[in-house]
Structure 1
């Protein structure tokens, strides 16, 4: 079976979990053709991208840029049996969502259908908003089955009517958090079984255990401050204004330095905030970086911090892979009890959680962990043990591989494939 994976953009540094999934399914035997709605913008790629063998089809990002291509696609597809029904569904969607993006989705679906006709047997999307719409229209035009994966922003920022109709029309949907699965199952009635929980997990071969002997920094030495690190895009849901504010309120006798890795539209605003509150000289901004650089920095750090929250538009994290990456290196983690983060981090056992948006609590937790290397070691060891036993990507891919009709991975045959009721290790 050849399956077209429809992605918003490829390759992307912030979507390692998608590349990891594609590579794992390729290695299980799935023939994949990647379809990208946008061209790449990141300067770097991860090693996993070089290992993926799937060809990539880039659709027109904007229809006016390639009008001949779109017109030729329409001419080819217009007389297919499924075209009229796809157009009918699209027009119904357009009446409820009168945006240029909705028009672009239909044009991209035409190009996808025309250029991959006869070359694919199934379509599978990543993200329930734009990629799912393009996939749905194209699948109808070609009369093919379709499925998909939902993650975070796409679940929480589109209308319920759109989620309900897509869930009713597709074969099955994978999602990567228990909280997301519960929400989508309510919308999938009377067929909640269509929604499957598949944690991404972590490719532990890329994040091997290391015997890092971290110095016993406790914030008392100005020449050797506690090294904090945060990896994430500078967007509202990551809570970086809260983190900077909390850091500015830490007692002056505690010495620390923060490294931020990630791109994002709010980076310059965050730099200005750091200047205004007097901590700019203690914050290092590295921008987006390849995986090996991130890994090296994690090993050099004392505490990972991510202050995720629900943005004003409803956008929120799912289960950020960076938390698993940090814990895989025995690094203590401080985050917030938002979305699926508590499905990974057990507060007071494998890390520390505060309520999202609670700056005083975040300040207190930072101060405690900066001053207490023993507590950091305790959280680091417990967090790594949990990730390596409960969030192994080789196990977590099993449910999805089965739905694609792939055979069991003989290399993983001896590993435990836990049930979904086991929240510590639910993979499918």
Structure 2
């Protein structure tokens, strides 16, 4: 069984992991990936102030000690003396930015300090239309809309979290020779299959935004809820669509069967998903073009042995590559989601076997320790 590695105490290589906002609940994969490094000692750098730093994590903010004027200058020009100072003072050998806009903003410091820059593209950074970015009127989004092509010149590697995102990056004009697919993976020790019987529970873990397809799941559950009176639907997360989703549940008359769990700690999410019968993520392409990369929550559910129902969307079929490891339906096909749920809930034994097959696939293709060793090879190559 794969084991979670520990950082080599003799490691002298330093990688700066950059994200404008760090340690947000929906992006635990960034810290998990850095925590699995063995030959590179990571430290995190945020642009925004750090309100909470997890225990044992080394993290800094380029806004510390910076005036409001300096921060605004950084937003407008993508130049930050404070960022350069943090990188220099803490001995970065490689910079790894998550999401395209963050990579673009990191690129000036990388160039001035002669540091190799690796950027992970997660999805919306190459799928949202530039016109939508401009319409946001946010300085970071506007700069990215106008200068996304510069990533191709400034980054040493552009990591794509799925083949589908690599194809989207190619369509966006980024250079093929710098693009590579690399799956982040999950900790298959921490997310081990839970023994024992499953609860009559359907879970959905997501930020409540259009691309997660939560409204389709609620509609589908309402169609089969009377046939499965003992099953509940748990919606874990929060987001701008939460009020509309609550209204939808009320209008469908299924309030007594749907739990809005809200944001909970990762350990609580893992426990709830691990005891559920089915995990559903019916992702869709949002009206602004926003698409998933390869949702880590889905890979985590598979690793826990929870049977997964999802859509043929972006990189998801790269994880659920056959009907032997999970079930896929077309985007927005509410009747198909309902029919698949009905079938799964009606045959718990077959559903359990499907979940166990999914867990085996994750251990073979998406183990975090294995994937992070490959990532360290990418760091080696760019130095």
TM-score, L = length of structure 1 = 0.75
Residue of 92, 110, 134 corresponding to 1:120 = 92
Q: Is 1:234 matched with 2:218?
A: no
Where does the alignment leave 5 or more consecutive residues of structure 2 unmatched? 1-12, 131-144
| Aligned equivalent of 2:344 | 369
1:184 offset after TM fit, Å? Answer: 2.4
Which digits, 9 at most, give the CA deviation of each residue in 1:206-251, with x for residues without a partner? 1123322236xxxxxxxxxx31111111111101111111112226
Q: Residues 289-335 of structure 1: CA distance to partner in whole angstroms, max 9, x if unpaired?
A: 11211121123211111111111111111111111211222211111
Q: Secondary structure at the match of 2:227?
A: coil
**Counterpart for residue 169 of structure 1:** 154
Question: Retained in 2: the 8 A contact 1:186–1:192?
Answer: no
CA–CA distance in 1 between the matches of 2:181 and 2:255?
41
Runs of 5+ in structure 1 lacking a partner? 72-99, 216-225, 407-428
1:349-381 deviations in Å (ceiling 9; x for gaps): 111111011112112212222222133122112
Asked if 1:12 is matched to 2:32, the reply is: no
Tell me how many residue pairs correspond in the alignment: 353
User: How many Å separate the matches in 2 of 1:278 and 1:315?
Assistant: 31
Corresponding residue for residue 254 of structure 1: 228
- Which residue does the alignment assign to 1:67? 68
Aligned twin of 1:313: 288
Q: Which has the larger radius of gyration?
A: 1
The CA deviation at 1:58 is: 1.6
Q: 1:24 aligns with which of 27, 30, 36?
A: 36
Q: Does 1:201 align with 2:202?
A: no
Structure 2 residue matching 1:405: 3-state secondary structure:
helix
Whole-Å Cα distance in 2 between the matches of residues 40 and 249 of structure 1?
44
| Residue 168 of structure 1, CA deviation | 2.4
Q: Secondary structure at the match of 1:22?
A: helix
Task: State the distance in 1 between where 2:193 and 2:76 align.
Answer: 44
Match of 1:299 among 236, 253, 274: 274
TM-score normalised to the size of structure 2?
A: 0.84
RMSD: 2.6
Aligned partners of 2:353, 2:312: CA distance in 1, in Å?
20
Q: How does 1:19-418 map to 2 (within 5 A)?
A: 19-25=31-37, 28-39=38-49, 49-52=54-57, 54=58, 56-60=59-63, 66-67=67-68, 70=70, 104=75, 106=77, 109-117=80-88, 119-129=91-101, 131-157=102-128, 159=130, 162-185=147-170, 191-214=175-198, 226-250=200-224, 252-255=226-229, 256-405=231-380
1:192 Cα offset (Å): 1.8
CA–CA distance in structure 1, aligned partners of residues 93 and 359 of structure 2: 40
- By relative contact order (CA 8 Å, sep 6+), the higher-ranking structure is 2
SS at match of 2:291: coil
Q: Deviations over 1:131-153 (max 9, x none)?
A: 11210122233343322111111
Q: Structure 1 residues 122, 301: CA separation in 2 closer, same or farther (over 3 Å shift)?
A: closer
